[in-house]
Amino acid sequence: MEIQASLYWSPGFPDRFKSKRGYNVIKYLPLLFHKSTSFTAAQAPYNTAFYLDGTPDDGQSKYLQDYRLTLNNGYQEYLQTFEDWAESLGLSHSCQVGYNIPLDILADVPLVSTPELESLAFKTPDQMSQFVGPAHLGRRNVISTEIGAVLQGAYSLTIPSLVNLFHDAFAGGFNAMMIHGMTYTGEQLRSTWPGFTPFQYIYTELWSPKQPAWKYMGKMMDYTARNQFILQQGVAKKDLAFYLYKDPLGISNARLSARLSYRECKHDTEEEHEDGCQHIDNVSIST
């Protein structure tokens, strides 16, 4: 679920905050309505932000960090409740962990039996690896991705293009493809293509039997299933190489104010002062 809110909260949040952080959050409540605490971190709720002493907050102040930390503590208990419930039924719990919410996703991923992300927000294998790494540390073998959502207009993604997205996901460490976008019939029970189309026709793809390409999906899914089976075997490993390069050459420009004092240390002459430096005032230096 992608839950939007002006400020993520619960009835017990103030008490939890005071217990964990040691002070009353209500006093600083206006500060929490910040871009960094909003859905997708897009903008401050109500397009208004409050600051202490008129100093803009980049999202790293004590109060915002304490808020997000407390929120994440509660979210981890929330995830564990679903994990325990699923296990009691002999099932495995899966969800898109902390998606678009101001949480510490990397700390939360290992708690979920089958963690999932959406390729819409994690487009490259490097980005995917940030999610997959914590899952591997949590000894999670099946890692899924909701894949096939692309911001390029509805009904414009071809099957070969979808397969290329699968290849990227395989390279990024995912081994279970959850294809995006089979819509329900809605009021058009017996309608033909395209049928019900949500998301204002701006996202692709809305796979369903109404699509002309549907009858060609079988072989593609068989190919994908075989790759998934192979990638779910054994222990996931990733070769790492650290390459540190420092450019030995560089160009810089600097200019000191005429009122600054330039200190030139000279330890091999008799002109030095007691501190081993010559003091030259009112100079302008360019390099």
Per-residue pLDDT tens over the stretch 211-236? 888 889 999 999 999 999 999 998 88
261-265 and 277-281 beta bridge pairing:
antiparallel
Helix axes 159-172, 217-231, angle to 10 degrees: 10
Average pLDDT over residues 39-61: 81
Range of lowest pLDDT (33-42, 86-95, 104-113, 132-141): 33-42
pTM for the structure as a whole? 0.77
For the stretch 59-108, pLDDT in tens is: 788 999 999 999 999 999 999 999 999 999 999 999 999 999 999 999 99
Contact partners, residue 6, CB within 8 Å, separation at least 6 = 33, 38, 45, 46
Q: Residue 44 carries which side chain, given as an amino acid letter?
A: A
Q: Are 255 and 283 in contact (CB under 8 A)?
A: no
Tell me how far apart the alpha carbons of residues 147 and 165 are, in angstroms, rounded to a whole number.
Answer: 7
213-223 burial string, b = 16+ CB within 10 Å, else e? eeeebeebeee
Q: Give the chain's mean pLDDT.
A: 83
Average pLDDT over residues 243-248: 68
Burial class for 227, CB neighbours closer than 10 Å (0-12, 13-18, 19+): middle
Q: Residue 248 — pLDDT band, cuts 50, 70, 90?
A: low
State residue 264's pLDDT score: 44
CA of 125: how far to CAs of 48, 136, 158, 166, in Å? 36, 15, 21, 11
Give the CA diameter of the chain. 99
Task: Provide, rounded to the nearest whole percent, the portion of the chain with pLDDT above 90.
Answer: 50
279: pLDDT strictly greater than 90:
no
260: pLDDT strictly greater than 70:
no
